[in-house]
C-alpha cells in the first residue's frame, strides 16, 4: 500500500487590506523595482556577455601555461636547481673563450673596410716593389750589356782611336759602366776638353766630346806647340802649322799675360781670326795683333770688354779695309782710332 502523503499546510488568512487593489503609483513603483536589476548584477551580466560570447576566454601568456616551462613555480624551481649546480674551471674557461671569440667577431665585422683598404695598399706596394726589383735585375743583367760605342763631336780627334781605347767597356751592363776608367782613357787625348756619357738601351753607349779650340802656336826648342786658351799643349811639330797665329808671350803659358791673350783670341770672330798671323803681349794690358798680307796692327789693350771691341773692330774693318790702314786702336770700343 502506498503511504499517504502529508497534508499541505494551512494557508494564512488574508487580511482585507491585502485583498484590496493597490494604488496605481505604488504598482508602477513595484514594477520598476522588479524590472530594474541591481548595478552589480548588470555589470556582471555585461562583462559575461562581452567576455565570453564576443571575445571568448582569455588566452594564456606564452610560456606561462600551467605546468609549462613558463610557470612561475616551475621557473623558480629550475632556476634554483641551476644555481645549486657547481661551476667548474672548465666552464669558466669555455665562457671566457666564447666571450673572446664573440669580441673577435665583432672587431672583424667593424674593421672589414679598413682591412680591405690595407690589403689593397699592401698589394699595390708589393707590385711596385716587384716591378722595381725586376727592372733592376734586368738592367744589371747581360740583357743590357754594351755592344756598341759611339763617339760624337770630334773634328780633329781620331774617332777610331778613341773607340779602340774604350773597347774594354764592351760587354759591361750599361748601369755598371766604369766612368773613372773612361776618364782615364780620355785624359790621354789632349784635344778632349770635356766629355759626357749617354746610355741608349739596350746596347749602345754614346760618348759626347767637346774638343779644345787651338788659338795659336808657341815656338820652343822642340818645335812649334799648338796650344788652346788654357795653355794646354795639343800637338808639337817642327814647323809652324798653317792657319794658326804665332804667339809671343814673355812670361809663358802659365802667366796672366797668356790668359789675357787667350781671352782676346776666343773673342775674335772667325772673319778676323783667320787674318791674324801674330800675337804679342808683354803685360796683360798691351795685347797686340798683326794681320797678315796688309801687315796692319790691332792695338787691343787689355782683355776687358773684348766682346764689344770685337764687334766695333769688325764694323770698322768693313768700312775701312786693312789694306788702307796701318793701325786699328780699339782700346776704347766706343772711340776707335784708325791710322
The 3-state secondary structure of the chain reads: CCCCCCCCCCCCCCCHHHHCCCCHHHHHHHHHHHHCCCHHHHHHHHHHHHHHHHCCCCCCCCCCCCCCCCCHHHHHHHHHHHHHCCCCHHHHHHHHHHHHHHHHHHHHHHCHHHHHHHHHHHHHHHHHHHHHHHHHHHHCCHHHECCEEEEECCCCCCHHHHHHHCHHHCCCEHHHCCHHHHHHHHCCCCCEEEEEEEEECCCEEEEEEEECCEEEEEEECCEEEEEECCCCEEEEECCCCCCCCEEEECCCCCCHHHHHHHHHHHHCCHHHHCCEEEEEECCCCCEEEEECCCCCEEEEECCCCHHHHHHHHHHHHHHCCHHHCCEEECCCCCCCEEC
Mean pLDDT of all residues belonging to the chain: 80
Examine residue 202 and say whether the peptide bond preceding it is cis (omega within 30 degrees of 0). Answer: yes
Reported confidence tier of residue 143, pLDDT bands at 50, 70, 90: confident
Average pLDDT over residues 1-25: 47
Output the CATH code of domain 142-211: 3.10.20.310
CA atoms of 92 and 72, how far apart (whole Å): 29
| Span 222-244, pLDDT tens digits | 899 999 999 999 989 999 998 89
Domain boundaries, the chain: 91-129, 142-211, 214-338
Fold of the 214-338 domain: Rossmann fold (3.40.50)
Pairing outcome for strands 204-211 and 192-200: antiparallel
The answer to whether the beta carbons of residues 153 and 213 sit under 8 Å apart is: no
CA atoms of 299 and 312, how far apart (whole Å): 13
Among 201, 152, 155, 161, CA closest to 177: 201
Average pLDDT over residues 294-314: 94
The pLDDT value given to residue 306:
95
pTM, two decimals, is 0.56
Q: Do domains 142-211 and 214-338 have the same CATH topology?
A: no
CA atoms of 309 and 267, how far apart (whole Å): 9
Reported confidence tier of residue 63, pLDDT bands at 50, 70, 90: very low
Lowest mean pLDDT segment, chosen from 40-54, 117-131, 137-151, 170-184:
40-54
Average pLDDT over residues 163-179: 93
Average pLDDT over residues 287-303: 93
CB-based burial of residue 190 (10 Å sphere; 0-12 exposed, 13-18 middle, 19+ buried)?
middle
Amino acid at each position: 500500500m502506498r503511504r499517504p502523503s502529508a497534508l499541505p499546510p494551512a494557508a494564512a488568512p488574508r487580511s482585507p487590506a491585502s485583498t484590496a487593489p493597490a494604488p496605481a503609483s505604488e504598482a508602477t513603483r513595484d514594477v520598476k523595482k522588479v524590472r530594474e536589476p541591481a548595478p552589480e548584477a548588470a555589470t556582471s551580466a555585461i562583462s559575461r556577455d562581452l567576455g565570453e560570447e564576443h571575445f571568448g576566454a582569455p588566452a594564456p601568456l606564452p610560456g606561462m601555461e600551467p605546468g609549462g616551462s613558463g610557470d612561475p613555480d616551475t621557473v623558480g624551481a629550475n632556476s634554483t636547481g641551476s644555481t645549486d649546480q657547481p661551476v667548474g674551471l672548465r666552464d669558466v674557461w669555455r665562457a671566457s673563450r666564447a666571450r673572446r671569440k664573440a669580441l673577435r667577431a665583432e672587431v672583424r665585422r667593424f674593421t672589414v673596410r679598413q682591412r680591405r683598404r690595407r690589403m689593397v695598399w699592401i698589394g699595390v706596394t708589393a707590385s711596385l716593389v716587384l716591378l722595381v726589383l725586376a727592372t733592376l735585375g734586368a738592367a744589371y743583367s747581360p740583357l743590357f750589356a754594351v755592344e756598341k760605342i759611339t763617339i760624337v763631336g770630334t773634328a780633329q780627334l781620331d774617332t777610331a782611336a778613341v773607340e779602340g781605347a774604350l773597347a774594354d767597356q764592351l760587354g759591361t751592363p750599361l748601369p755598371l759602366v766604369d766612368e773613372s776608367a773612361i776618364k782615364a782613357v780620355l785624359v790621354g787625348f789632349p784635344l778632349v776638353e770635356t766629355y759626357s756619357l749617354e746610355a741608349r738601351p739596350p746596347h749602345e753607349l754614346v760618348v759626347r766630346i767637346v774638343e779644345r779650340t787651338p788659338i795659336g802656336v808657341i815656338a820652343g826648342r822642340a818645335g812649334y806647340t799648338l796650344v788652346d786658351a788654357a795653355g794646354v799643349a795639343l800637338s808639337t811639330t817642327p814647323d809652324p802649322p798653317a792657319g794658326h797665329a804665332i804667339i809671343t808671350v814673355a812670361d809663358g803659358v802659365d802667366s796672366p799675360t797668356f790668359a789675357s791673350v787667350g781671352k782676346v783670341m776666343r773673342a775674335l770672330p772667325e772673319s778676323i781670326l783667320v787674318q791674324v798671323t801674330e800675337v804679342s803681349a808683354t803685360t796683360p794690358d798691351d795685347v797686340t795683333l798683326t794681320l797678315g798680307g796688309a801687315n796692319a796692327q790691332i792695338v787691343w789693350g787689355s782683355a776687358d770688354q773684348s766682346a764689344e771691341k770685337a764687334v766695333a773692330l769688325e764694323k770698322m774693318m768693313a768700312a775701312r779695309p786693312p789694306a788702307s790702314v796701318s793701325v786699328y786702336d780699339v782700346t776704347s770700343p766706343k772711340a776707335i782710332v784708325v791710322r
